[in-house]
A and B are shown apart, each in its own frame.
Chain A
């Protein structure tokens, strides 16, 4: 269970206008969450499945005595359940006063970006606008900023 601890307050080198992101990938697509929300990154080591709950919640894990739910981000985006292996990664995040884990394929980078560079998500028929806070370009690739509150929020469409 190798876990990489991430410093709680990532100091932004670029001043107040810049933020740092942890970038991770699901398939080919890169997403990011603000580094200050990240509590821990650990390898996927299975989870106890939860019955009678949302289909994109893979179950719960024991994080030093606390029970933390794991959200399968791929499933959340409607791309099917992740076939999780030891190489998959759980990013533990603090969302509000709750701690949750998101299951992703790999953590790729730490990006420092300027707030001004964040693009709005184009309005569409799909749920992209809800699940993403914005889009930035990094190395000519699109990075979606995950809206954690929506991803985790109980107002999912399964109800």
Chain B
């Protein structure tokens, strides 16, 4: 259940990526770049979304995506012209697909007719004249590929396989003999071999063409000399994962005509039969015009690592045979490898194995192998009874790499190697030779004795991995630890004085190198979390489109600096504020078409969204060429609502910033889009929360520019270190407006006894941290300091502290991790000397004032 949820989550992740890509591609297309690759890309993206949706049963999404995809398919092959209208339809449809995806993700259903209009348009475009080819058009979309096994033998296979579990090997032999895909004579030879079972056991597995095996294989190979030859040996894992070889064979039969030949020889007598061992291997002969190794590999893609596959192209067999006949060395190489691989791994069968190998070696007349196959006892071979010999057959199951390794040596690409000296070969094997790479015939790399489970083998390398998905938590842990490291490192550096430097030069040098490395590490770790702002920006075009259509305005969105990178956590917090800002610009900023025309402005208004890095900050600017802030009205409303005292005349800048005051809205009518008075204050509080600031500048009649200043990262906080009654506290630098010596500050008192700070005509609430935190301070009042902070919006609070120690960067730590939330404290941090300092929660202090004032 949870696994399915996981898959779903991954699917939705992918969807959002695909949707972003779709949007980008279409925008490029809209701008006139109708590259076929783009069309292919959008088609693929929609297809992937549809495919996943089908798998999870999101029917409405599948339906819509399907129609969309059909249109795209037509566009792709030129049957439908990609006019401006079509592009617009497509872009709108991407938005709809996004809606469907969101609905699916949230588990709700959109109305049945949602997107029906677009769907109709798709159909109309695809079938301009009636629906006569409606059926045909569906066809390419059909998931089910209708296939028929070409050879009957394919169908026979599985029955036989399952039967084997009850059957004695004899029956199995009989079955083998009855199989019609190989000449009778061959079968007889085969059956005979089984009966004799001399050295067969693993000779069979793969094409370790041992003497006996060769006969049979040679004959078969000759019969199918013009076929591709695929030797397929399942490992236990294949069945454990509920794969069915039959399906694979069927799949193969789509590629070309197939003949499947089962190798039943490894099946032991019933008393030795392990029900869960895969004894059976198959050789598939494949003939077809467009058979390629790649296509064959595709069939086995999903069982990769769970089986051994060896693919030999049509020509390969004869070559191999030739090589085999000629190459004594290669034969001997094969023999040598085995005892080496087998001996350590398999306990009981070792004896049999050894003997036979030795015998083999003897038979093949290979000399100088004594060290590998200890003391050949040639006669043993013939005397060995079937069960004894068959025992080692199990080995391939448990120790699949052994035959694999040998097969590896045999494959034709290796002939050259085989020709090389024996020792070289052995060495190569020991080092798990890098040879397999160029070998097309061996699927799994020769993991060999070192890796008993060939899970590692992978198909020939494909494209290099571009990225990995990592849980953000894991990255955060690294970020935190690096933060610690940075602090520890700076502490070490601080501790070094001149005497130390003189005395321990090496140590000092080490610390300097450490400092460099740490900085590098910090940068790299931050880079991991950094993401281009594009992920947020990319949602905006749609927003603007929707706003434009709702308001009837013409708005163009320009985006600059999408590649600018910010910390992921900052980006997450950015979406809401940005949405509000864009909305505000579109609704209040840009004027209607008529008004713009009257003003002599271009009909189409422009909103410019840009991101750039400025020092340790990221600036995000939303700019429009609209009417600008109507200061008179803003001030009037502000006075009316009591945001500004009636007798005050704030500066232009102050008026502009009034739009961030809570509950403030200038819209005379509450519109659909904005104007409920929530919005801009949300922007401010969100941005404050992540340690940023907002600045507005308006040019009446010319436009408004809003600038967000954001920290590059949240992991490290710039703070001012202060002390209160001897205890260290830190105040986030981003909220500090200024600091004043308490002796020079102008305080007033309210009837309840609460102090107010009077500063430039403003009265600001005062919070004496010593009183607030119930601590006893000995500092004289005039020696203390006032830290004027901006709590949220335009409201300020003046913190009174004993001492200002300095600025520094700190890593934020949670108090809740081991304890609980505390009023007025936003968290803790660890200073260079290891002491814990508490982070003052400026906004929290302002809020909780009334409680503690008494």
Could you list which residues of chain A lie within 8 angstroms of chain B, going by C-beta atoms? 47-53, 57, 59-62, 65-69, 98-100, 154
Contacts and interface: CB of A to CB of B under 8 A. Distances in A.
Nearest to A68: B818
Given A48-B837, A50-B825, A67 B774 contact: no
A70 to B, nearest CB: 10
Main secondary structure of the interface of A (DSSP, over half): strand
Given A62-B830, A65-B813, 5 more contacts: A47-B836, A51-B775, A67-B818, A67-B828, A100-B818
Q: Give the one of A51, A57, A154 with max B CB within 10 A.
A: A51
Contact of A66 (B813, B822, B824): B813
Instruction: Please name the 10 residue pairs, one residue from A and one from B, whose CB atoms are nearest each other, closest first.
Output: A51-B773, A69-B819, A48-B836, A67-B828, A98-B818, A52-B823, A65-B484, A62-B830, A60-B836, A67-B813
A51 B818 contact: no
Nearest to B813: A67
Contact of B825 (A51, A61, A98): A51
5 contacts: A48-B727, A50-B819, A51-B824, A59-B836, A69-B818
Contacts of A67: 813-815, 817-819, 828, 830, 836
Interface string B741-784: 00000000000000000000000000000001111000000000
Contacts of B830: 62, 65, 67
B688 to A, nearest CB: 22
B423 interface: no
A93 B486 CA distance: 28
Interface residues of B, number: 27
A81 B436 CA distance: 74
B820 interface: yes
B728 interface: yes
A12 B430 CA distance: 48
Contacts of A99: 818
Contacts, number: 72
B835 A48 contact: yes
Nearest to B480: A65
B834 interface: yes
Interface string B795-832: 00000000000000000011101111011110010100
B45 interface: no
Given A52-B773, A62-B834, A65-B830, A98 B822 contact: no
A146 to B, nearest CB: 18
B839 to A, nearest CB: 11
B823 A60 contact: no
A100 B820 CA distance: 11
B727 A49 contact: yes
B838 interface: yes
Given A62-B830, A69-B819, A52 B814 contact: no
Given A48-B727, A62-B830, A100 B837 contact: no
Contacts of A61: 836
Contact of B728 (A48, A100, A154): A48
A65 to B, nearest CB: 5
A61 B815 CA distance: 11
B850 to A, nearest CB: 15
A49 B815 CA distance: 13
Given A62-B830, A67-B813, A67-B828, A51 B772 contact: yes
Nearest to A94: B818
A81 to B, nearest CB: 14
A118 to B, nearest CB: 28
Nearest to A50: B822
B374 to A, nearest CB: 47
Contacts of B824: 51-52
B488 to A, nearest CB: 9
A62 B838 CA distance: 12
B821 to A, nearest CB: 10
Contacts of A51: 772-775, 822, 824-825, 838
B786 to A, nearest CB: 19
Contacts of B817: 66-67, 98
Contacts of A53: 820, 822
B627 to A, nearest CB: 48
A52 B830 CA distance: 20
Contacts of A66: 813, 817-818
Nearest to B833: A62
A52 B819 CA distance: 13
Contacts of A154: 820
B775 A49 contact: yes
Contacts of B773: 51-52
A99 B816 CA distance: 11
A145 B435 CA distance: 67
Contacts of A100: 818-819
Contacts of B728: 48
Contacts of B836: 47-48, 59-62, 67
Given A48-B838, A49-B727, A60 B828 contact: yes
B774 A52 contact: yes
A62 B836 CA distance: 6
Contacts of B484: 65
Contacts of B813: 65-67
A48 B819 CA distance: 14
Contacts of A69: 815, 818-819
A66 B836 CA distance: 10
A98 B834 contact: no
Contacts of B727: 48-49
A68 B815 CA distance: 8
Given A61-B836, A62-B830, A52 B822 contact: yes
A150 to B, nearest CB: 15
A69 B825 CA distance: 14
Contacts of B814: 67
Contacts of B480: 65
Given A65-B484, A67-B836, A52 B825 contact: yes
Nearest to A69: B819
A50 B838 contact: yes
